[in-house]
Amino acid sequence: MYKLSATELKELFSKGEISAKEIAQNTLKRIEKFDPEVGAFLHVHKDRMLQKAESLDKKKQSGEKLGSLAGVPIAIKDNIHINGTITTCGSKFLSNYKAVFDSTVCRLLEEEDALLIGKTNLDEFAMGSSTENSAYQKTRNPWDLACTPGGSSGGSSAAVAARFCPISFGSDTGGSIRQPASFTGIVGFKPTYGRVSRYGLVAFASSLDQIGPFSTTVTDTALVMQVISKGCDRDSTSIHAKTPDYLAALSPSLKDFTIGVPWHFLEQLNEDAKQNFLASVEVYKQLGAKIVDVDLDILSHSIAVYYVLATAEASTNLARFDGVRYGVRSPKATNLEELYDLSRQDGFGAEVKNRILLGTYVLSSGFKDAYYKKAQQVRALMIQKFKDAFLKCNLVMLPTAPFPAFKLGAIQDPLQMYLQDVYTIAANLVGAPAISIPSGFSSNNMPLGLQLIGPQMHDKEVLSAAYAYEQATGYGKKIPAHFDKEAL
């Protein structure tokens, strides 16, 4: 069962060849058997999942219409709310916080009869690129348990890569879906900003954050996007537009398709990633796509712009965590000021504190114009540069990451860690849809990913081009050898 895609599982359940309870039990058994080695999950909602499965079986027996995700097990990153369950954001600060409402995404998934498994591990408050900043545990890459699965959505990517579930959800602020998808050899999609509601997502950087899915196939990504691409009155940035037919848009043909490549921006690649990218360009040529050079020199400033804007927004968003309204309150405080200070000192980890300090600095009266305002101006220029590029091409193609997954603990320099996102940040800064798809393996047999970026609201074109590549190569079908077996 673990080899089946979400589409295949749903079809078997709909035909009555397998029950929702069997799917749930098989999923839970696999997690119980293998997750101690991976560390993908922080919380598994076993009873809740089994109850949902039993009610879904009754619904089918009674002849009621089934949802489009009927019987599909889905994991949720632990910064997205499921009503009545703990949401920690990977932080000690929220170890006792129980969500009092559903995120829009989780509500829509359950309305379509998905089986929500539980919460996956992440870098604290989604700040990191390796899932080493979690306050609870390190998550390991199923392809090599000594390596990182990427971050910040490393738990969600590892859960799909190890085939604990066919779909999971993460959040992408600067590449936190696409980079781990690349590291673990699966599909990771960041929709157009506002295309998926952020209501119920604990904010890191509000103008950059976007919820999106991980899956083993582009078809499954399209299937789940049909469900979650809906306007939401509770999210002021939500786009109220008709949901496209993502599944119907999938096609192996790339006739009259033009893909832009900013060749000058590929200096950061190691040799394995460079050769893999060049091979991927040849695949698209063979599929009939025209490859053109596009000028995106401005992307060399993307990391600097991102770490000014993202930290500024983080320092504002995290100001609400004060030990008063929710979260863990310091028992050492003797007055209100100490309560604020000590609760934050004890509750936040080192990386979160670093980003709050940097964000507060760039917003301070003496530096706001020099840093924050300037970064916003460069962001506006980036948006225009992408608009100019899309006059020449349908999509822009880049590597997802400059090199394959690295060993846990191998990168200690924060600046080197930030460079992990050199190819992914731009899509967040301009609000564009972007996908990472498996594109092969490095010389040491670690997965590599290819990234496609489209104009805003052209999500289905991004998925269609990714689907054509997937059908031509089949890299995503491979499963890490250690987990390619039943949980007996």
Q: Return the pLDDT at 473.
A: 97
Residues 227 and 367 both lie in one domain: no
142-151 per-residue burial string, b: 16 or more CB within 10 A, e: under 16: bbbeebbbbb
DSSP codes, 195-220: TS--TTBPPSSTTT--EEEEESSHHH
Residues 275 and 309 both lie in one domain: no
Give me the catalytic one of 5, 19, 130, 152: 152
Strand, coil or helix: 425: helix
Q: In the structure, what pLDDT confidence band is assigned to residue 488 with cuts at 50, 70 and 90? A: confident
Residue 325 lies in a domain: yes
Residue 282, Cβ density class (10 Å: 0-12 exposed, 13-18 middle, ≥19 buried): exposed
Q: Return the pLDDT at 34.
A: 98
Residue 268 has pLDDT above 90, yes or no: no
Give me the catalytic one of 134, 168, 176, 343: 176
At 301, phi and psi to the nearest 5?
-95, 0
Residues 168 and 87 both lie in one domain: yes
Percentage of residues of the chain with pLDDT beyond 90: 96
Residue 488 lies in a domain: no
Residues 65 and 155 both lie in one domain: yes
Each residue's pLDDT tens digit, 138-157: 999 999 999 999 999 999 99
Cis, bond preceding 14 (omega within 30 deg of 0): no
Each residue's pLDDT tens digit, 144-200: 999 999 999 999 999 999 999 999 999 999 999 999 999 999 999 999 999 999 999
Q: Return the pLDDT at 455.
A: 98
Return the structure tokens found at 355. Answer: 């980003």
Q: Is 274 a catalytic residue?
A: no
Q: Is 168 a catalytic residue?
A: no
Domain boundary among 357, 377, 397: 377
Q: pTM for this structure? A: 0.97
CA distance 441 to 22: 34
Query: Which amino acid is located at 440 in the chain?
Result: G
Neighbouring-strand partners of residue 40? none
Residue 279 lies in a domain: yes
Residue 101 lies in a domain: yes
Helix then strand then coil, in percent of the chain rounded to 5, is: 45, 15, 45
Q: Return the pLDDT at 247.
A: 97
* Cβ contact 214:186 at 8 Å: yes
Q: How many CB atoms lie within 10 A of CB 378?
A: 16
Residues 364 and 390 both lie in one domain: no
Strand, coil or helix: 115: strand
Residues 347 and 304 both lie in one domain: yes
Give me the catalytic one of 10, 77, 190, 230: 77
Q: In the structure, what pLDDT confidence band is assigned to residue 277 with cuts at 50, 70 and 90? A: very high
Residue 467 lies in a domain: yes
Residue 479 lies in a domain: yes
Residues 127 and 252 both lie in one domain: yes
Distance, first Cα to last Cα, the chain? 12
Neighbouring-strand partners of residue 147? 407
Each residue's pLDDT tens digit, 31-40: 999 999 999 9
Return the structure tokens found at 91. Answer: 């932080």
Q: In the structure, what pLDDT confidence band is assigned to residue 415 with cuts at 50, 70 and 90? A: confident
Return the structure tokens found at 275. Answer: 């050769």
Residues 410 and 286 both lie in one domain: yes
Q: Return the pLDDT at 110.
A: 98
- Nearest Cα to Cα of residue 30 among 181, 142, 195: 142
Residues 154 and 256 both lie in one domain: yes
Residues 144 and 243 both lie in one domain: yes
Total domains, the chain: 2
* Cβ contact 433:195 at 8 Å: yes
Residues 158 and 252 both lie in one domain: yes
Neighbouring-strand partners of residue 120? 41, 77
At 73, phi and psi to the nearest 5?
-75, 130
- Show Cβ contacts of residue 14 under 8 Å, excluding neighbours closer than 6 positions: 60, 66, 70, 71
Domain boundary among 324, 344, 377: 377
Each residue's pLDDT tens digit, 466-484: 999 999 999 999 999 999 9
CATH number of the domain enclosing 230: 3.90.1300.10
Query: Which amino acid is located at 353 in the chain?
Result: K
Domain boundary among 346, 377, 408: 377
Q: Is 280 a catalytic residue?
A: no
* Cβ contact 72:163 at 8 Å: no
Residues 173 and 206 both lie in one domain: yes
Q: Return the pLDDT at 12.
A: 98
Which structural domain, as residue segments, surrounds residue 208?
A: 6-263+270-295+386-483
Q: Return the pLDDT at 258.
A: 98
Residue 1 lies in a domain: no
